[in-house]
């Protein structure tokens, strides 16, 4: 058995994988594969409708918001957010908390002035900046809720008088949020929602259409809303698997229930890191991520032997991002707490052998 701590594409529920695998041969007994049916067919339209319905139900999306399933990953949304929200001559504000926040900032510079309200770059993004001032004259304020590379997470969201735009790629559906606090939420599916290939966008309708610029239809949120996420052929299989994953999440009790599980998984793993003399975290304790637990060895020479032990025990995806090294245990929704216990046992065994 493998224990998948990969940062993304991440682990999916086993029952979802089984149902998705069966659908590749025959979708619900119709004699056709999910990979070959028309996106305009009754079968796929029902899948897309169910996926959107589940998003609205699980996140309690209020009236006045549209839910889209698009392509291009969160990286495309780095550009589409300013394209759709930042007027010519306008200004956008950004909180710089890691690589992906920085990439989003760079894309926004193509469309207008940008201002960094706060950054933790000087500490290699080991904490979330606080006590900053959001400029009231900016078109929007962009944040990244969870930082997969550095293992930090916004535990509370800022109160903003301007539209709040959030990249939630790595913690969407992992905890309760108030969608009404945001103007735009976007998230790549491949962490907590489904496979790579589709991106969830939740946008407040009344913040659109105010840039004064013409936007090509494929990049225009309003055109995508009017097209029902099907302006062009959508990523049918990725949307289907996302729908199955959201059904699985609902069956477990929804976001509140999974948040309790995620909190428990993170707590026992951080407790072990703090207790174990071999390992340590590098992030500010109050900003530690409940999705990506990043840690290092006190002695760098222990890194390779520990990775070898993990491999022997079926623990995969534990190696840290190449830019920071160390270890990263991504404990997304579908990872069972039993896998976290296997990792903890490996850490304890390694410490015992290296006294």
- As a whole number of angstroms, the distance between CA 136 and CA 285 comes to 31
Which has more confidence, 323 or 331? 331
Report whether 24 contacts 35 (CB < 8 A).
yes
Q: Where in the chain is the domain with CATH 3.40.640.10?
A: 14-251
Taking residues 172-182, report their average pLDDT: 98
Helices (H) and strands (E) in the chain, counts: 9, 14
Residues recognised as catalytic? 100, 167, 191
d(CA 290, CA 93): 26
- Looking at 203-314, list the stretches that DSSP marks H as alpha helix, in order from N- to C-terminal side: 221-226, 236-251, 254-275, 303-312
Span 121-150, mean pLDDT? 97
Q: State whether residue 215 is helix, strand or coil.
A: coil
Average of per-residue pLDDT values in the chain: 97
Sorting pLDDT into bands at 50, 70 and 90, what band is 308?
A: very high
Return the pLDDT at 126: 97
Q: What value does the mean pLDDT take over residues 84-102?
A: 97
Query: What residue spans in the chain does CATH classification 3.90.1150.10 cover?
Result: 253-353
Antiparallel, parallel or unpaired: β 65-70 and 199-204: antiparallel
pLDDT per residue as tens digits for the range 275-298: 999 999 999 999 999 999 999 999
What proportion of the chain, given as a percentage, has pLDDT over 90? Answer: 98
* Closest to 170 measured CA to CA, from 248, 250, 262: 262
CATH number of 253-353: 3.90.1150.10
Nearest to 58 by CA among 243, 184, 207: 243
CATH 3.40.50.1010 holds for 14-251: no
The pTM (predicted TM-score) of the whole model is 0.97
pLDDT confidence of residue 1 = 86
Confidence of residue 270 (pLDDT cuts 50, 70, 90): very high
pLDDT of 325? 87
Cα separation, 52 vs 39, whole angstroms: 15
pLDDT at res. 232: 96
The number of CA neighbours under 13 Å toward the Cβ of 87 is 11
Query: What pLDDT sits at residue 323?
Result: 83
Return d(Cα 168, Cα 182) in angstroms, integer: 11
From residue 141, give the alpha-carbon distance in Å to each of 6, 144, 165, 170: 30, 10, 6, 19
Compute the average pLDDT of residues 246-272. 98
For residues 101-125, give the mean pLDDT: 97
Confidence bin at 344 (pLDDT 50/70/90)? very high
| DSSP label at residue 205 | G
Residue 125: its pLDDT value, please?
97
For 63-73, the pLDDT digits (tens) are 999 999 999 99
pLDDT tens for each residue of 32-66: 999 999 999 999 999 999 999 999 999 999 999 99
What's the pLDDT score for residue 355? 82
Rounded mean pLDDT of 166-180?
Answer: 98
Separation of alpha carbons 321 and 327, rounded Å:
8
Amino acid 322: pLDDT: 85
According to DSSP, residue 299 is labeled: S
Count of beta carbons in the 10 Å neighbourhood of residue 320: 21
For residues 49 and 276, give the distance between their C-alpha atoms in angstroms, rounded to a whole number.
48
């Amino acid at each position: 058995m493998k224990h998948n701590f990969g940062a993304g594409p991440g682990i999916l529920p086993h029952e979802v994988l089984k149902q998705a695998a069966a659908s590749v041969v025959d979708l619900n007994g119709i004699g056709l594969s999910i990979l070959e049916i028309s996106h305009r067919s009754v079968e796929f339209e029902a899948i897309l409708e169910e996926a959107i319905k589940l998003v609205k139900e699980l996140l309690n999306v209020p009236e006045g918001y549209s839910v889209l399933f698009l392509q291009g990953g969160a990286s495309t949304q780095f550009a589409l957010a300013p394209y759709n929200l930042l007027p010519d001559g306008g200004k956008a504000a950004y909180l710089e908390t890691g690589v992906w926040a920085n990439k989003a900032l760079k894309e926004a510079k193509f469309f207008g002035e940008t201002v960094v309200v706060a950054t933790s770059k000087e500490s290699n993004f080991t904490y979330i900046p606080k006590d900053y001032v959001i400029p009231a004259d900016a078109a929007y304020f962009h944040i990244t809720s969870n930082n997969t590379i550095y293992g930090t997470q916004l535990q509370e969201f800022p109160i903003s008088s301007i539209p709040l735009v959030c990249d939630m790629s790595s913690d969407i559906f992992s905890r309760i949020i108030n969608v009404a606090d945001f103007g735009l939420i976007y998230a790549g599916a491949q962490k907590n929602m489904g496979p790579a290939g589709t991106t969830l966008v939740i946008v407040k309708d009344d913040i659109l259409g105010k840039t004064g610029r013409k936007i090509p239809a494929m990049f225009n949120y309003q055109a995508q809303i009017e097209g029902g996420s099907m302006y062009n052929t959508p990523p049918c299989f990725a949307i289907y698997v996302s729908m199955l994953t959201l059904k699985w999440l609902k069956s477990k009790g929804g976001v509140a229930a999974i948040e309790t599980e995620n909190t428990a998984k993170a707590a026992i793993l951080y407790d072990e890191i703090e207790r174990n003399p071999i390992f340590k975290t590098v992030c500010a304790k109050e900003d530690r991520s409940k999705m990506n637990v990043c840690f290092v060895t006190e002695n760098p020479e222990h890194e390779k032997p520990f990775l070898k032990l993990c491999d022997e025990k079926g623990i995969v995806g534990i190696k840290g991002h190449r830019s920071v090294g160390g270890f990263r245990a991504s404990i997304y929704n579908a990872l069972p707490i039993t896998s976290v216990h296997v990792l903890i046992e490996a850490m304890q065994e390694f410490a015992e052998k290296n006294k």
